[in-house]
Amino acid sequence: MKINIHNQTEEDILEVEKLLKKVFKTIKEKTSMEIVFVTLDQIHKMNFDYRQIDRPTDVLSFINDDESIRSLGDIFISLDQARRQAADYEHSFEREVGFLAVHGYLHLKGYDHHTPEEEKEMTEMQEIILNKAKLQRSTK
């Protein structure tokens, strides 16, 4: 799996890039996707524009519908929101960013969590991928 990372923030994302390359290295797929880091304000605006939800979110995924492009689609992640959630869930920032990227990837692959069955399947897939990258859930 090839990931193309874009940074629309002022943050140094070198360590985050290394982390995500490690996470997606385990996925043997001949395709690519875009991961875009955005500010809290940017993701808030996107959440409102595309989902009519007037608050920031952590991750948004947009499936590529242009068959001439081999990319699965675009994943937008707010690192600020990831930091907040890592603290709330009492696990590492790395675990949270990895989780958000994998969650977005699975949405691009067609997974969802509208029903308990879908959520269970998606959660299991997320944990398999994150465990391979040694980003286990906190055991607190």
pLDDT number for residue 30: 86
What's residue 138's pLDDT? 63
Alpha-carbon span 76 to 100, nearest angstrom: 9
- C-alpha angle 53/58/61, rounded to 5°? 80
Let me know if 114 is exposed, middle or buried by CB neighbors in 10 A (0-12, 13-18, 19+): exposed
CATH class of segment(s) 2-132: alpha beta
Report domain extents, the chain. Answer: 2-132
pTM: 0.93
**Residue 99's pLDDT band (boundaries 50, 70, 90)?**
very high
Query: Over the chain, what is the mean pLDDT?
Result: 93
pLDDT band at 68 (very low <50, low <70, confident <90, very high): confident
Please say if the pLDDT value at position 139 is more than 60.
Answer: no
Report the 10 Å Cβ neighbour count for 137.
13
Mean pLDDT of 77-89: 95
pLDDT at 29: 87
